[in-house]
Structure 1
Amino acid sequence: MVVIVIVVLVIASGNKDESTTSAPSATPTAKTQQRQTREPAGERADLVSFQLDDRSQAGLSDIWLVWTIKNSSSEKSDYSWDWEAVDAGGTRVGDGSQFETNVQPGQTARGEFFTTLKSVKGIKLNVTSFDRTASY
């Protein structure tokens, strides 16, 4: 056992890079952020757009979720997804589930839903789950 530990330590120290590097930060790097925002493959790609639309006027908040689904499968499909709205400080300020049903193959469907958000400034939408199932 002691021999194994010594061998591991020798191998690990032999690959040392003499340059100094800082400890990983809590803030994601640009590379990590790029990975997180890359368009997912498969059924998730059917959610062409999902964003906030600020229709506020005369001092009254009127913020909607708007989306576009394009069915890329070969069968009539239903879609459901969960989302969250997160402010610049990382606090979740809203969340919910959306549905789009009976979308024919190749068809595009658009939808919208009212939110209780007071502002869109600094708000980021995250899709936390996404599912496409066959319609019957």
Structure 2
Amino acid sequence: MAAVIVILVVVLVVAVGGSDDSTTPAPSATATPTASPGQAKKPASERADLISFRLDDRSTADIADIWVVWTIKNSSGEKSDYSWQWEAVDAGGTRLENGSELETDVKPGQTARGEGITTLKSVKGIKLNITRFDRTASY
């Protein structure tokens, strides 16, 4: 009986697929995926729906005011919810901040923009990494 349960769990994991849990740099507004010569372009993943995710320094008069700003474009054929986790690291790899973002009810083909304040004191030498990204059907 335990063997049957293990097999069912493995089948479900393979069928559903895993989420993108790798730590990779955040996309830039100008980054576009390209295929090597002679190689077909791979279909876009749900991660490609995160068009941009960047820091926006709105600091004035020596008062730090740094925000994360994003743009999502739903390339799927269904209304979707997006959730992702991120981290801001310095040049030495030290995590200075991390957070989670949520964008809901984005219709097919629709673009959504959002922003959130951070506790960062500067943007110099800071790199944003997406540590998890998920798109799910919205009902």
- The letter for the 2-side match of 1:71 is N
Aligned to 1:68: 71
Matches within 5 A, 1:1-136: 41-136=44-139
Give the Cα–Cα distance (whole angstroms) in 2 for the partners of residues 90 and 129 of structure 1. Answer: 18
Give RMSD over aligned pairs. 1.6
Distance 1:79 1:93 in 2: 24
2:12 matched to which residue of 1?
Answer: none
TM-score (norm 1): 0.71
* Alpha-carbon offset, residue 89 of structure 1: 1.1
- Deviations along 1:42-69, one digit per CA (max 9) or x if unpaired, are 0000000000000000000000000000
Q: Percent identity?
A: 74
Partners of 2:106 and 2:135 in 1: CA distance: 10
Give unpaired runs (5+ residues) of structure 1: 1-35
Structure 2 residue runs without a partner (length 5+): 1-23, 26-30, 34-41
- Secondary structure at the counterpart of residue 88 of structure 2: strand
TM-score (norm 2): 0.70
Asked which structure has the greater RCO (Cα within 8 Å, sep 6+), the reply is: 2
Q: Which of structures 1 and 2 has the bigger CA Rg?
A: 1
Following TM superposition, the consecutive aligned residue runs of length 4 or more in structure 1 with deviations greater than 6 angstroms are none
SS of residue paired to 2:77: coil
